Chains A and B, each alone.
Chain A
Amino acid sequence: MKQIPPVLLFILRLWIGLVFVYAGFSKLMEPVENFRGIIAQYEVIPYALVPFLSVVLPWIEFIFGTFMILGYATRLSALVLTALSFGFLMVLGSSQVLLGSVPVSCGCFGEGGIHLSVRQIFVLDILNTAIGIKLFSIKNHPFSLDSRFK
């Protein structure tokens, strides 16, 4: 199989890292109730988990996104971010199938933030899942802190 050029691997790492750093940072700078209210609308998520997820998810996104950019614990970070992207995809997909709609039309990504349609969110999550799987499958990441410790 043809190897991916190191620069492209680095760009993929930056992409997925920046997406999650932005997602986590924007939530961490807002009152936690904003994100809590949004995930509560996804009825496929048990309500008992909502308070916990609303606090923990933004931190996971922000910290592992930064790790990914820096190339620290790169494979673990790739695994976590892939799991998140795939999880989001499952929640969106099951909401669409079971409930007939996805509750993202009411400023869920913030009025000042990036506005994405449901289709764009699906595409973004599929793309991030694929990139995450690819990055996880690679043992040595160029331009990474991991390579410094080898």
Chain B
Amino acid sequence: MNPRYIITGALLVVVLAGGIYALRKNQAPLSAGPRENSSAHSKGPKTAPVTIEEFSDFQCPACQKAEPTLKKIMADYPDGIYFTFRHFPLAGHQWSGIAHQAAECAAGQGKFWEFHDKLYDEQPLWSGSANPVEFFLRYGRDLGLDLDPFAACLNDQKIKRRVLLDKTEGEAMKVQSTPTFFINGERVVGPVELENKGRAKVESLLGKPPVLMSIPPEKTT
């Protein structure tokens, strides 16, 4: 083979790789981790050694799939994790925006987490319907919300901006798909990675979760 041909190929690879490295180097540094000044929804002790920040979309099936894993991790370490939820409604999901807004409206009446759970539990129902607001109003009634302010809140531009603020912050952190987690600042994307890499990360920081064994009662004669 012509040596000039091989050298040309090698040079092309060097130039391409160099270009990519240079572009990456010039990118703005990513910020990660929950921000104290944000109005995000959190649970767990603030002083916990592990922080998990989730950017999620209520209409995303992968986010729903990640929920049981996340809940199990949280249950395994009740005092070890400070969890923050961030809105990240994806453009490709028709009802995401209004679902996140509804969750914020429920938050206004102190029922964010209950509404959050309801949206994931019943995701296939409302996401496939022509009018998801009917579902949201029903969930609101089931949760004991005051429905008139809740319904009015669904059109509140201030609430919409709050949701979009979360998304903008996510985009600044290069969140591209949902669910994206930041576990003590380390990025973990998707339900499968949460189960593997995410759980391993939490275990490396907090140790293996305690195994609860039930002891059979002693036999009495």
Chain A interface (Cβ within 8 Å of chain B)?
25, 28-31, 33-34, 36-38, 40-41, 43, 47, 59, 62-63, 66-67, 70, 72-73, 101, 103, 105-108, 110-113, 115, 145, 149
Contacts and interface: CB of A to CB of B under 8 A. Distances in A.
Contacts of A37: 177, 180, 188-190, 192-193
Contact of B24 (A29, A63, A103, A105): A29
A29 B2 CA distance: 34
Interface residues of B, number: 38
Given A34-B189, A112-B176, 10 more contacts: A30-B174, A34-B176, A40-B196, A73-B9, A103-B62, A106-B90, A107-B57, A107-B176, A108-B177, A145-B8
A38 B8 contact: no
Contact of B60 (A33, A72, A105, A149): A105
B124 interface: no
A33 B187 contact: yes
Contact of B13 (A33, A63, A103): A63
A41 B190 contact: yes
Contacts of A43: 192
Nearest to B12: A72
A72 B177 contact: no
Contacts of B91: 111, 115
B21 to A, nearest CB: 10
A68 to B, nearest CB: 12
Contact of A38 (B9, B20, B190): B190
A131 to B, nearest CB: 22
B2 A149 contact: yes
Interface of B: 2, 4-5, 8-9, 12-13, 16-17, 20, 23-24, 27, 30, 57, 60-63, 90-93, 171, 174-178, 180, 187-193, 196
B130 to A, nearest CB: 19
Contacts of B93: 105
Nearest to A149: B5
B4 A62 contact: no
A79 to B, nearest CB: 15
Nearest to B92: A115
B33 to A, nearest CB: 15
A34 B188 CA distance: 8
Contacts of A113: 176
26 contacts: A28-B20, A29-B20, A31-B174, A33-B189, A34-B189, A36-B193, A37-B180, A37-B188, A37-B193, A38-B189, A38-B190, A40-B190, A47-B192, A59-B17, A66-B12, A66-B16, A67-B9, A73-B9, A105-B93, A106-B60, A107-B92, A107-B176, A111-B90, A112-B176, A115-B91, A149-B5
